[in-house]
């Protein structure tokens, strides 16, 4: 076993009241890939700051190898004093570090380095901070929520970069898929203490449940032992006084241990407040478009959203997800095309930028809108402190300013507010940011059990796979051009369908080359060519409209069946089969439309 390059032993830290850290340990050896997990507010970020030397523990030992370099990625980077992103990133380099690493990283993170730090978006700021900590290739990387505000291509690139890195890693993240790919050990911070599992995050949840079950059994045994001792004291044969005093002391110690045991933090218990049922058709968009200058954000796009649908919206940052979402919900008018919203819609929106939060507000004031000590949830009047407890806030926090909350606690507070509002259309923009694993599980259950309609924007692949029934993604994710495609199923289903489409296109191109006789691609006639279409092209031009009409009819039949709001609950297999068939038909229709358009343009060109 290699000697540790970082060791935190028996760390204690309290801000008054219950200690935040009470005997926490963390040991990092070369090659470690540790994920640090725990509930929001359990002290994960604080422990990472102690490891980085930014916070001093009240007691305990901190050892860092004298020659080891440590870099810490904080959630809110400080750009003060830097004129450009490149200058900020280069400031992280040490003597002998390669300056080219900064250029390489900024390029792969979608930045030029010339950007003004004061104008960066949340995602751009996170990318700049990543370039700064990754550039020196330190011995130890401490990363606090590195995937927040990053799009999926960047998250996948970061996974590969960390896998290849020689740095030891300690990472906090809510992204299950990310943790599974980068970790080989897990440290669980729970009730101030830490436990270590020398396996990656994929094994954490089963191990955690075993630990909690064993703890519950131990408390049960202790309770039984206390009952036996109390019975002996009351009814046992009187023995020597000295022996009685010893057993009495042991009983008092057992009672103290039993009373002092602090069980695991409870789970969030909540459900969405549902409004009056909306109409069957929630949103109908017909050939909507949107451009800014010469850049197309949404090319002609059509979709019908029915009551009960859960639709995921994915794509790189800047592809136009928020623009498309605003068009579909009527917040932004399209350049062309129409959007019709259904009847009786009550829309509730969770904003990823947390702009709805006033840091000077107290928790109670924010949840009640300043209307006293109670709020209405699902038609029932609830006291605000009782409702707060369902989201793991303590009653004494009711008067706490929001500025004192951690990022995860702020996310949980916004979730509490949005779920108290009557709604039948939930719009969730990056809802998983900063949430702990248990609260993510709750949000997944809420979305899955919500009787209304959900449209969510997310970069969390695992969350998408567990919740959505269809996924809207750019047709060309590497270079978004405004074309969007709806795929059946979650993120993994979307990737599989894309791979299938690519393979089919390759087979078609190979077949076309084979039919040309010499293996060369079939060339389109030029202006100086034969001046007429081939027989095969003429036949396709005439037959494609009829085939497209048949497919449109089949699509309409399946959409009508899927409009039944009870179909999914009655026959999930039939629903999934119809969704798969619908996606295939839509893909065939798109392919035929593109083929017919190309042939029609070629015909017009040849005919002058």
- Using one digit for the tens of pLDDT, what is the confidence trace for 231-243? 666 655 454 444 4
Residue 545 clears pLDDT 80, i.e. is over it: yes
CA distance 496 to 478: 17
Query: What is the gyration radius of the CA atoms in the chain, in angstroms?
Result: 30
At 485-544, the pLDDT tens digits run: 999 888 888 888 887 776 776 777 777 766 655 544 444 444 444 456 665 677 778 778
pLDDT at 122: 77
Lowest mean pLDDT across 230-239, 291-300, 301-310, 565-574: 230-239
Confidence of residue 431 (pLDDT cuts 50, 70, 90): confident
Q: Are 396 and 376 within 8 A, CB to CB?
A: no
Amino acid 561: pLDDT? 82
The pLDDT value recorded for residue 486 is 92
What are the backbone dihedrals phi and psi of residue 176, each rounded to the nearest 5 degrees, phi first?
Answer: -55, -50
Number of residues that this document lists for the chain: 608
Within 8 A by CB and 6+ apart from 141, the residues are: 71, 73, 133, 134, 162, 165, 167, 168, 169, 170, 171
Q: What pLDDT sits at residue 418?
A: 83
DSSP H helices in 399-490: 407-420, 437-449, 461-467
Q: How far apart are CA 411 and CA 40, in angstroms?
A: 10
Residue 218 vs residue 282, higher pLDDT: 282
CATH topology of domain 6-204: Rossmann fold (3.40.50)
Task: Give residues with Cβ within 8 angstroms of 555, minimum separation 6.
Answer: 582, 585, 586, 589
Above 70 in pLDDT, residue 226?
A: no
Q: In angstroms, rounded to a whole number, what is the distance separating the alpha carbons of residues 135 and 600?
A: 52
**Residue 410: pLDDT band with limits 50, 70, 90:** confident
Q: Confidence class of residue 579 from pLDDT cuts 50, 70 and 90?
A: confident
> Phi-psi bin for 21: left (phi > 0), alpha (psi -120 to 50), beta?
beta
Does domain 281-494 fall into CATH 3.40.50.300? Answer: yes
87 pLDDT above the threshold of 90? yes
Question: Across 307-414, where does the E strand assignment appear?
Answer: 310-313, 336-341, 347-350, 374-377, 380-383
Average pLDDT over the chain reads 83
pLDDT tens per residue across span 373-398: 888 887 788 888 888 888 878 888 88
Helix (H) or strand (E) holding 537: helix 535-562
φ/ψ of residue 550, rounded to 5: -65, -45
Multiple choice CATH, 523-606, 1.10.287.380, 3.40.50.300, 3.60.21.10, 3.40.50.1860: 1.10.287.380
DSSP classification of residue 335: S
| Residue 301 CB burial class (10 angstroms; 0-12, 13-18, ≥19) | buried
Lowest mean pLDDT among 71-80, 327-336, 429-438: 429-438
The pLDDT of residue 447 is 83
Give whole-number Cα distances, 176 to 118, 140, 183, 199, 266, in Å.
32, 22, 11, 14, 21
Q: For 258-286, what is each residue's pLDDT tens digit?
A: 565 555 555 555 556 655 667 789 999 99
Q: How far apart are CA 152 and CA 148, in angstroms?
A: 11
pLDDT at 528: 40
Nearest to 163 by CA among 187, 184, 146: 184
Of the ranges 168-182, 397-411, 464-478, which is most confident?
Answer: 168-182
Give me the helix-helix angle, 122-134 and 100-108, nearest 10°.
150
Distance CA(401)–CA(415), nearest Å, equals: 17
CA 87 to CA 217: how far, in whole Å? 56
The answer to whether 489 and 577 are in contact (CB under 8 A) is: no
The token duo for 478 is: 């590497």
Q: What is the β-pairing status of strands 336-341 and 6-13?
A: unpaired
Equal CATH topology for 281-494 and 523-606: no
Q: Are strands 168-172 and 140-144 parallel, antiparallel or unpaired?
A: parallel
Decide: 308 and 568 in contact? Cβ < 8 Å: yes
Residue 353 pLDDT class (50, 70, 90 cuts): low
Per-residue pLDDT, 311: 94
What local confidence, expressed as pLDDT, does residue 523 receive?
46
Lowest mean pLDDT among 5-14, 75-84, 100-109, 374-383: 374-383
Highest mean pLDDT among 287-296, 448-457, 595-604 belongs to: 287-296
Q: State residue 297's pLDDT score.
A: 93
The whole-number average pLDDT for the span 90-112 is 90
Domain ranges of the chain: 6-204, 207-260, 281-494, 523-606
- One-letter-per-residue 3-state SS of 363-380: HHHHHHCCCCCEEEECCE
pLDDT at 263: 54
Q: 403 or 472, which is more confident?
A: 472
Range of lowest pLDDT (92-106, 144-158, 395-409): 395-409
């Amino acid at each position: 076993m290699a000697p540790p390059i970082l060791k935190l032993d028996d760390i204690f830290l309290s801000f008054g009241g219950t200690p935040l850290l009470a005997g926490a340990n963390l040991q990092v050896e070369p090659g470690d890939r540790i994920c640090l997990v725990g509930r929001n507010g359990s002290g994960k970020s604080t422990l990472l700051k102690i490891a980085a030397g930014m916070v001093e523990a009240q007691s305990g030992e901190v050892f860092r190898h004298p020659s080891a370099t440590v870099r810490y990625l904080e959630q809110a980077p400080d750009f003060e004093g830097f004129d450009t992103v490149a200058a900020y990133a280069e400031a992280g380099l040490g003597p002998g570090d390669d300056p080219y690493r900064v250029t390489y990283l900024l390029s792969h993170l979608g930045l030029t380095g010339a950007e003004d730090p004061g104008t960066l978006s949340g995602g751009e700021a996170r990318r700049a901070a990543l370039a700064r900590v990754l550039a020196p290739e330190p011995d130890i990387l401490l990363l606090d929520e590195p995937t927040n505000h990053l799009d999926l291509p960047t998250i996948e690139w970061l996974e590969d970069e960390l896998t290849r890195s020689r740095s030891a890693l300690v990472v906090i993240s809510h992204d299950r898929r990310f943790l599974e790919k980068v970790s080989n050990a897990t440290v669980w911070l729970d009730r101030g203490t830490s436990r270590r599992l020398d396996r990656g995050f994929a094994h954490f949840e089963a191990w955690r449940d075993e630990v909690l079950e064993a703890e519950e059994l131990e408390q049960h045994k202790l309770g039984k032992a206390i009952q036996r001792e109390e019975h002996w004291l009351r009814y046992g044969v009187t023995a020597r006084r000295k022996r009685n005093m010893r057993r009495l002391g042991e009983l008092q110690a057992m009672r103290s241990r039993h009373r002092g045991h602090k069980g695991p933090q409870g789970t969030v218990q909540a459900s969405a407040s549902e409004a009056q049922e909306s109409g069957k058709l929630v949103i109908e968009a017909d050939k909507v478009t949107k451009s800014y200058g010469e850049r197309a954000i949404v090319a002609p796009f059509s979709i019908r959203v029915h009551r009960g649908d859960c639709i995921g919206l994915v794509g790189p940052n800047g592809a136009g997800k928020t623009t498309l979402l605003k068009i579909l919900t009527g917040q932004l008018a399209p350049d062309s095309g129409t959007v019709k919203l259904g009847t009786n819609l009550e829309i509730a929106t969770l904003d990823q930028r947390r702009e709805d939060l006033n840091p000077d507000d107290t928790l109670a004031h924010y949840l009640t809108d300043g209307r006293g000590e109670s709020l209405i949830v699902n038609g029932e009047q609830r006291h605000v402190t009782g409702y707060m407890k369902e989201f793991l806030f303590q009653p004494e926090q009711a008067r706490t300013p929001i500025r004192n909350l951690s990022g995860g606690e702020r996310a949980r507070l916004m979730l509490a507010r949005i779920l108290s509002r009557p709604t039948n259309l939930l719009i969730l923009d990056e809802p998983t940011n900063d949430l702990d694993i248990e609260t993510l599980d709750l949000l997944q259950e809420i979305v899955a059990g919500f009787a209304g309609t959900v449209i969510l924007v997310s970069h969390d692949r695992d969350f998408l796979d567990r919740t959505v029934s269809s996924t809207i993604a750019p047709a060309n994710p590497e270079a978004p051009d405004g074309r969007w495609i709806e795929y059946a199923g979650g993120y993994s289903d979307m990737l599989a369908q894309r791979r299938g489409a690519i393979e089919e296109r390759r087979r078609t191109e190979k077949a076309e080359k084979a039919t040309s006789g010499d293996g060369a691609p079939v060339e389109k006639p030029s202006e100086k060519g034969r001046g007429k279409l081939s027989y095969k092209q003429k036949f396709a031009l005439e037959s494609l409209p009829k085939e497209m009409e048949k497919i449109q009819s089949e699509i309409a039949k399946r959409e009508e069946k899927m409009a039944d709001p009870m179909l999914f609950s009655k026959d999930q297999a039939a629903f999934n089969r119809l969704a798969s068939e619908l996606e295939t038909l839509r893909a065939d229709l798109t392919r035929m439309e593109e083929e017919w358009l190309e042939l029609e343009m070629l015909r017009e060109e040849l005919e002058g």
